[in-house]
Amino acid sequence: MTGGAEARDDAIFKRSSCPITNGLNIFGDKWTLLVIRDLMLGKCRYADFISSPENIASNILADRLKRLEAAGLVSRQAYQQKPVRYEYVLTEKGNDLKPILEAISRWGRRHCPGTDVFRPVDRFKLR
Amino acid sequence: MTGGAEARDDAIFKRSSCPITNGLNIFGDKWTLLVIRDLMLGKCRYADFISSPENIASNILADRLKRLEAAGLVSRQAYQQKPVRYEYVLTEKGNDLKPILEAISRWGRRHCPGTDVFRPVDRFKLR
DNA sequence: CAGTATCCATTTTGATACTG
DNA sequence: CAGTATCAAAATGGATACTG
């Protein structure tokens, strides 16, 4: 274990009366929102996330996916048996993060010149 | 030094073509957006931030304020001399983070029952 | 491929003490 | 009050190796 998801489930579920604090307890770290971004861009398999330009380490990715599942933002579905393999999809709770990502993207576009447009796929158009 | 602002100025100014990555390089950590939230709630002095319920450590706060200033989201103005003391205010670039905080707040209100409303003060009504 | 596990270096934090 | 300094502990990160 990398001091991973299990060790910090308490952090995920910690409760404050501030909605921002609660949100950040779940996704306020360096990697989680990038994984969410990838999910919104239509990525759903391990290798998809690994191949993103930010170069997330495999152990960190595994940890974040577990945590996101524990927090109910992501669910996984087996797409093959023997060996069983999963793909990851946003739940409604996870999909509701879209306005946040869009707001971040808009800020980045305005204040960090030369950045691209963020075009989340409509998950209900997928598959 | 705590491996503080100076040591990571490169992280703040690191550039990606993804606007989300760029944004998160600046404010995608555990504490920065909470300081921003406080600023939007009208807090502007050291003791104000320290008194927030999340209990930020004084060294972390000092580091984040420096970083935010280096990134151009916050500026500080002396409100007294001998000893000189500063209060911190959001720049326009910092104030543009408001839609992000509002989106996070909306998500938190929806998915973390029992949380309060986030009511940023209009900074142009201040003083 | 899709993970899991491990090792180890670097970062980040948290607590506390100290200064003008 | 408004910070700065120090330091140990914890978290995080990156590289790499291993498994079915």
Predicted TM-score (pTM) of the model is 0.92
Residue B40, pLDDT score: 97
| pLDDT reported for residue B126 | 45
* Model pLDDT, residue A5: 56
Q: Cβ contact (<8 Å) for A23 and B110?
A: no
Q: Comparing C-alpha atoms, which of A22, A23, A29 is closest to residue A5?
A: A29
Report the pLDDT value the prediction gives residue B127, as an integer from 0 to 100. 40
User: Which nucleotide lies nearest residue A62, CA to C1'?
Assistant: C3
CB nearest to B112's CB, from A15, A104, A109: A15
Do B98 and B76 contact (CB within 8 A), yes or no? no
Q: Which helix (H) or strand (E) holds B81?
A: none
pLDDT bin (cut points 50, 70, 90) of residue A81 is: confident
The pLDDT, as a whole number, for residue A30 is 85
pLDDT tens by residue, A2-38: 445 555 556 788 889 999 999 999 999 889 999 999 9
> With an 8 Å Cβ cutoff, is B44 touching chain A?
no
Query: CA neighbours within 13 Å on the CB side: how many for B28?
Result: 22
A-interface mutation test, from B13, B20, B74, most A Cβ less than 10 A away: B20
pLDDT at A124 over 80: no
What's the pLDDT score for residue B15? Answer: 87
Q: For A92-102, how does the pLDDT look when each residue is reduced to its tens digit (9 = 90+)? A: 999 999 999 99
Provide the angle, in degrees to the nearest 10, between the axes of the packed helices A19-27 and A32-40: 80
Distance A61 CA to C7 C1' (A): 18
B21 touches strand D (CB under 7 A): no
Could you report the per-residue pLDDT of A34-77, keeping only the tens digit for each? Answer: 999 999 999 999 999 999 999 999 999 999 999 999 999 999 99
Give the residue ranges of DSSP H helices in chain A.
Answer: 5-13, 19-27, 32-40, 46-50, 58-70, 92-95, 98-111
> Is the peptide bond prior to B99 cis by the omega test (within 30 degrees of 0)?
no
Instruction: Tell me how many degrees the CA angle A57-B26-B68 measures, rounded to the nearest 5.
Output: 145
**Mean pLDDT, each 10-residue run in order, chain B (127 residues):** 54 89 93 96 96 94 95 94 92 97 97 94 63
- pLDDT of the residue at A127: 41
Cα–Cα dist B55/B127, whole Å: 27
